[in-house]
């Protein structure tokens, strides 16, 4: 009798246990369904992983130059199962950027990417992130040579070299006279090296070129006004060149407004803002240099992915996102294709291409 | 007429502001313990006279005597140090500050020491005592004065002057913009102050009936001059009004 | 005088306290927001890193707000605070380069900020230019001076690691400075004649001068105080991010400080003010800023949401008073 009761008790317990277990499983299944679908992320051949969170800190969050970068981030994130956050400062305030990095560390981000626009300010925050086990990548701007900054890799253009090549191009276009070099925020590490490179190349050329540096400010409207005023005050200049996207667009606009190519004035700059490309096509700007912002976002996410997937064993490596001169002769395809990769449209596309590739 | 001593006298006070003569040879006397009412229209010079008596302005010519000693007021603080306090029309109260802070404004009690920290406790106590002495009732001396009624605010302003050991109290339109009930309370307050002794009061008024009720003597000012002066017992509202009417008639129809 | 007045009845029910004290109201808002963000993201508050991080959002705004509050009470404002913020650290840098030890250089930087405050005050008080206009002018002027002397290039702050840690680079250093300064300013405002007279002069300038208060001296002094605090904050921040940057602070910082003051209960029109409220107001702004960042709001929508949150906080603040007053009847 006692044993029967015991058995009964056991059966009851088991039943209770089973019921509880079933209930729990059901709850978990519901929960699992409620979680974001990429919980069982299908990143191609890679096994499922939790959705990693990558924080992209930026120094000019609302600047149109980085729109393709954000598309690159979005596409890579969708491909590989990341969530991303685009934050930082809208007007190059380093304090705000440092705050954003610290917030990412406190929020236990899985990876952080930040342009190192100040020679010292990011050393400690990046060190702290690495100490907390969060990989940090620099994109678009890197720490200066000799710096003790410990970022894992840099994804972007070789800034000094690009500036140097621009300087060589300037020396080939202008023989002598006043040449204006516009820079949005002097001293900032994503553009200052270009200026330094350009000035060095111009000096090396030996030509009698008077190169003046003018600061234009971090926002596009300011930049245009400053460039206009400078031109109006120095109408005998022989060339206007810029080292950042916004100032380049400004230079192009001023060249068009005052019809400067007809007066023998040359102009050029960096990056492929839509207006800049138009004006190159219309013949008002001699060249622009593409640093390929889309891949600055895309490759950075890939690097983070490799690091996280392999537990830090594979990668990261510096990636030079390239330096390409775009002139009237080669601008056509840029103008006609509206793709995400140049930031001109949101629709993803496969762009057809035929014929030989010009090296 | 009691032989009370003279506490304040102004002789032939003239005040010019540029081309404008605000006061033209005004003479007044204030005796110990009495209430003097000054009546007159706007522009008669009443406020200017008060400002001279309190040391805010200096007279262009004429002498002032305090307790029969000739004095020239160097500043408001100087006049205050001689016991002359004034309650202006705007009451000079800071709305967001408490009653006791207002009562001690610019004369705060501080702890000794380098910092000069405010001794709020002492000020609260002294303010409550003072209000009780002169019969002013408020719920708490911590209330900000903006929460008081018009009459209470006037009373606080008067209490502040009294609290500062005033011997001569000047009131600029104390009953202005007050309903009958509140005016009555202030009138009671003023009469109580007189009864307490030690205080002599000059009031600028524009209501003849109220003036004759409160004051011992009344003075009428017109266009910078004193045109009439009498003990209130010896005059009446009708008589005062007649004098004022005469001035209007003179001004409307120039004498041939 | 109320005939038959009742003895003082201090209201003890909390709704009345809510209605009467702006500091308590804004503290309630801060607590509600903290609870919300803590629920939305568990790393918001209760870990060391996050608390430190949050404190760094709050501290600089709080210190500058203290200075703005003293001015706002008198119906004035200092728009140049964000630019003095960037200016003072550079003066400190150049003083150090010229040979002064770090501590002395820091003092020189702060004094230079005070000089700007003196100019702000003198022009406003003696030339009778409205402070909005005066400080608008010094805003641009000081910014230009900063860019010129720095040639637009950031530099490193002076001194050794210990000095730097004390002056802002240790995680909690800034917030400790902020609380200490707020404490001193609170005592100045509520327990010293300077503060009391500032309030009186703000509430009733004519009356205060009739009472013999030297309004001009007060205003001048408060302009200097505001500038000193702004410059000092810039220096602290320079040590925190180990870089002195000509683009630092700026108008954003000034607007946040003024917003903190207003959210905390100091009206723009003047007449009254609360340092404690300003501190809590800065906390609210910091909580919003940090909280939304942690949740993962992106830069484009960030300001939209921040602005909406500030509006909501203010609406709650103001209407809570009305509701309480209605309920009390």
The set of chains that have 3 or more CB pairs under 8 A with A is C
- C269 touching chain B per CB within 8 A: no
d(CA B14, CA B24): 5
Q: What average pLDDT does the segment A58-83 reach? A: 90
Which burial class, exposed, middle or buried, applies to B17 when counting CB atoms under 10 A from its CB (0-12, 13-18, 19+)? exposed
Q: Which residues of A touch C83 (CB under 8 A)?
A: none
Give Cα A170 to chain centroid, integer Å: 26
CB contact under 8 A, B93 and C197: no
pLDDT at C21: 76
d(CA A14, CA A19): 8
Coil, helix or strand for C277?
A: helix
Contact B35, B193 (CB under 8 A): no
> Is C15 contained in some domain?
no
Q: Which residues of C touch B142 (CB under 8 A)?
A: 8
Give residue for tokens 């300087």.
A167
> Is C48 contained in some domain?
yes
d(CA B204, CA B217): 12
Give residue for tokens 């380069």.
C97
Structure tokens at A353: 């291409």
ipTM value for the complex: 0.80
Q: Which residues of A touch C151 (CB under 8 A)?
A: 186-187
d(CA A71, nearest CA chain C) in Å? 14
Pairing of strands B61-66, B69-71: antiparallel
Smallest Cβ–Cβ distance between C43 and the set A87, A107, A120 belongs to A107
Measured in residues, chain B has a length of 256
DSSP H or E segment with residue B203: strand B200-205
Mutation site for A-interface testing, chosen from C256, C299, C301, C302 by largest number of A Cβ within 10 Å: C299
Q: Output DSSP code: residue B74.
A: -
Q: Given a cut of 50, is residue A37 above it in pLDDT?
A: no
Where is pLDDT greater, at A202 or C7? A202
> Is C157 contained in some domain?
yes
CB contact under 8 A, B93 and C5: no
CATH at C104: 1.10.3470
Map out the domains of chain A with their CATH numbers: 52-157+293-322 (3.40.50.2300), 159-290 (3.40.50.2300)
pLDDT at B171: 92
The domain made up of B6-95+165-252 has a fold known as Rossmann fold (3.40.50)
Percent of chain C clearing pLDDT 90 (strictly above) = 51
Q: Given a cut of 80, is residue C41 above it in pLDDT?
A: no
Q: How many structural domains does chain C have? A: 1
> Is C5 contained in some domain?
no
d(CA A331, CA A323): 15
> Is C2 contained in some domain?
no
Q: Given a cut of 60, is residue A359 above it in pLDDT?
A: no
d(CA C1, CA B158): 13
CB contact under 8 A, C248 and A95: yes
Q: Output DSSP code: residue C166.
A: I
d(CA C84, CA C67): 12
CB contact under 8 A, A61 and C299: yes
Pairing of strands B225-231, B217-222: antiparallel
- List, for residues A157-206, the tens digit of each pLDDT value: 888 889 999 999 999 999 999 999 999 887 777 788 899 999 999 999 98
Smallest Cβ–Cβ distance between B138 and the set C5, C208, C210 belongs to C5
CB contact under 8 A, A215 and C152: yes
DSSP H or E segment with residue A268: strand A266-270
Q: Given a cut of 90, is residue C71 above it in pLDDT?
A: yes
pLDDT at B98: 93
Smallest Cβ–Cβ distance between C154 and the set A58, A100, A187 belongs to A187
Q: What chain B residue is nearest to C7 in terms of C-alpha separation?
A: B139
> Is C1 contained in some domain?
no
Q: C21 to each of B120, B145, C156, C240, C277, how far by Cα in Å?
A: 20, 16, 44, 34, 9
Bridge partners (DSSP) listed for residue A183: A215
A–B contact (≥3 CB pairs within 8 Å)?
Answer: no
- C99 touching chain B per CB within 8 A: no
Model confidence band, residue A216 (pLDDT cutoffs 50, 70, 90): confident
Q: Which residues contact A344 (CB under 8 A, 6 or more apart)?
A: A274, A337, A338
Q: What chain B residue is nearest to C2 in terms of C-alpha separation?
A: B137
d(CA A345, CA A350): 13
Q: Summarize chain B as % helix, strand, coil (round to 5).
A: 35, 30, 35
- List, for residues B116-145, the tens digit of each pLDDT value: 899 999 999 999 998 888 888 889 999 999
CB neighbour burial string for B171-204, b if at least 16 within 10 angstroms, e if fewer: bbbbbeebeeebbebbbebbeebbeeeebbbbbb
pLDDT at A30: 39
Q: Which residue range is the domain that position C287 belongs to?
A: 24-319
d(CA A318, CA A155): 6
Coil, helix or strand for B172?
A: strand
pLDDT at C19: 58
B84 φ/ψ angles, rounded to the nearest 5 degrees: -100, 120
- A41 touching chain C per CB within 8 A: no
Smallest Cβ–Cβ distance between A120 and the set C237, C243, C300 belongs to C243
Structure tokens at C324: 């309480």
Q: What chain C residue is nearest to A56 in terms of C-alpha separation?
A: C298
- List, for residues B178-210, the tens digit of each pLDDT value: 888 888 888 888 888 888 878 899 999 888 888
Model confidence band, residue C20 (pLDDT cutoffs 50, 70, 90): low
């Amino acid at each position: 009798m006692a044993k029967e009761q015991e058995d009964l008790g056991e059966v009851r317990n088991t039943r209770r246990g089973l019921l509880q277990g079933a209930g729990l499983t059901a709850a978990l299944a519901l929960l699992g369904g409620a979680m974001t679908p990429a919980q069982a992320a299908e990143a191609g051949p890679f096994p499922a992983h939790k959705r990693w969170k990558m924080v992209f800190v930026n120094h000019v969050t609302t600047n149109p130059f980085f729109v393709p970068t954000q598309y690159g981030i979005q596409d890579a994130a969708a491909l590989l199962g990341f969530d991303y956050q685009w934050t930082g400062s809208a007007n190059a305030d380093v304090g705000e950027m440092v705050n954003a990095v610290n917030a990412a560390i406190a929020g236990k981000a899985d990876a952080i990417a930040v342009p190192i626009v100040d020679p010292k300010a990011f050393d400690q925050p990046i060190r702290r992130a690495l100490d907390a086990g969060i990989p940090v990548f620099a994109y678009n701007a890197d720490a200066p040579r000799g710096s003790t900054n410990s970022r894992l890799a840099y994804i972007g253009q070789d800034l000094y070299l690009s500036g140097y090549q621009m300087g060589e191009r300037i020396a080939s276009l202008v023989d002598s006279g006043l040449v204006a070099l516009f820079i949005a925020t002097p001293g900032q590490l994503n553009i200052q090296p270009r200026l330094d490179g350009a000035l060095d190349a111009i000096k090396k050329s030996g030509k009698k070129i008077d190169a003046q540096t003018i600061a234009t400010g971090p926002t596009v409207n300011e930049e245009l006004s400053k460039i206009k005023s400078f031109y109006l005050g120095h109408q005998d200049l022989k060339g206007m060149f810029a080292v950042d996207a916004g100032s380049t667009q400004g230079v192009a606009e001023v060249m068009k407004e005052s019809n400067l190519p007809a007066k023998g004035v040359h102009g050029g700059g960096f990056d492929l803002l839509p207006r800049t490309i138009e004006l190159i096509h219309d013949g008002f700007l001699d060249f622009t240099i593409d640093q390929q912002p889309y891949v600055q976002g895309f490759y950075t996410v890939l690097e983070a992915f490799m690091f996280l997937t392999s537990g830090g064993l594979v990668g990261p490596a510096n990636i030079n996102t390239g330096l390409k001169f775009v002139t009237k002769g080669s601008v056509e395809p840029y103008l006609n294709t509206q793709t995400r990769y140049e930031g001109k449209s949101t629709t993803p596309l496969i762009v057809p291409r035929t014929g030989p590739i010009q090296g | 007429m009691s032989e009370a001593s003279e506490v304040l006298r102004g002789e032939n006070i003239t005040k010019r502001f540029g081309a404008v003569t605000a006061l033209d040879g005004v003479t007044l006397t204030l005796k110990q313990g009495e209430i003097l009412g000054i009546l007159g229209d706007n522009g008669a010079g009443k406020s200017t006279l008060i400002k001279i008596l309190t040391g805010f302005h200096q007279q262009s010519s004429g002498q002032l005597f305090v307790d029969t000693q000739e004095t020239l007021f160097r500043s408001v603080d100087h006049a205050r140090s001689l016991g002359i306090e004034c309650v202006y029309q705007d009451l000079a109260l800071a709305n967001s500050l408490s009653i006791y802070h207002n009562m001690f404004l610019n004369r705060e009690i501080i702890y000794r020491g380098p910092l000069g920290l405010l001794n709020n406790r002492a000020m609260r106590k002294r303010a409550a005592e003072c209000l009780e002495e002169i019969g002013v009732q408020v719920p708490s001396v911590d209330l900000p004065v903006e929460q008081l009624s018009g009459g209470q605010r006037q009373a606080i302003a008067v209490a502040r002057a009294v609290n500062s050991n005033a011997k001569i109290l000047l009131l600029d339109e104390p009953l202005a913009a007050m309903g009958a009930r509140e005016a009555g309370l202030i009138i009671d307050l003023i009469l109580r102050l007189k009864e307490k002794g030690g205080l002599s009061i000059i009031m600028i008024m524009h209501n003849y009936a109220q003036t004759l009720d409160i004051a011992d003597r009344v003075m009428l000012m017109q266009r910078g001059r004193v045109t009439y002066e009498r003990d209130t017992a010896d005059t009446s509202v009708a008589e005062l009004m007649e004098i004022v009417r005469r001035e209007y008639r003179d001004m409307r129809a120039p004498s041939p | 005088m109320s005939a038959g007045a009742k003895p003082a009845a201090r209201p003890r029910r909390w709704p009345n306290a809510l209605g009467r004290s702006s500091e308590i109201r804004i503290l309630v808002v801060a607590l509600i927001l903290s609870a919300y963000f803590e629920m939305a993201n568990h790393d918001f508050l209760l870990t060391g890193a996050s608390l430190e991080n949050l404190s760094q959002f709050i501290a600089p705004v709080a210190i500058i707000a203290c200075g703005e509050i003293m001015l706002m009470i008198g119906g004035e404002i200092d728009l140049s605070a964000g630019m003095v913020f960037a200016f003072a650290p550079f003066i400190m840098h150049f003083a150090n380069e010229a040979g002064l030890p770090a501590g002395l250089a820091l003092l020189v930087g702060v004094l230079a900020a005070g000089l700007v405050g003196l100019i702000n005050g003198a022009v406003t008080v003696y030339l009778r230019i409205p402070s909005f206009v005066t400080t608008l002018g010094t805003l641009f002027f000081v910014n230009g001076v900063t860019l010129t002397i720095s040639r637009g290039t950031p530099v490193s702050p002076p001194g050794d690691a210990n000095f730097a840690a004390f002056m802002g680079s240790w995680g909690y250093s800034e917030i400790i400075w902020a609380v200490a300064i707020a404490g001193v300013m609170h005592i100045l405002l509520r327990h010293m004649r300077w503060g009391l007279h500032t309030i009186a002069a703000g509430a009733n300038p004519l009356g205060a001068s009739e009472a013999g208060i030297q309004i001009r001296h007060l205003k001048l002094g408060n302009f200097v105080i505001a500038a000193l605090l702004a410059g000092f904050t810039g220096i602290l921040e320079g040590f925190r991010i180990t870089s002195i940057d000509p683009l630092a602070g700026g108008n954003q910082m000034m607007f946040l400080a003024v917003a903190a003051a207003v959210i905390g209960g100091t009206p723009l029109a003047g007449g009254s003010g609360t340092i404690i409220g300003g501190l809590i107001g800065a906390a609210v702004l910091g909580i919003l800023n940090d909280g939304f960042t942690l949740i993962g709001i992106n830069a484009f929508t960030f300001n939209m949401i921040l602005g909406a949150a500030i509006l909501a906080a203010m609406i709650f603040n103001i209407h809570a008073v009305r509701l309480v007053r209605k309920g009390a009847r």
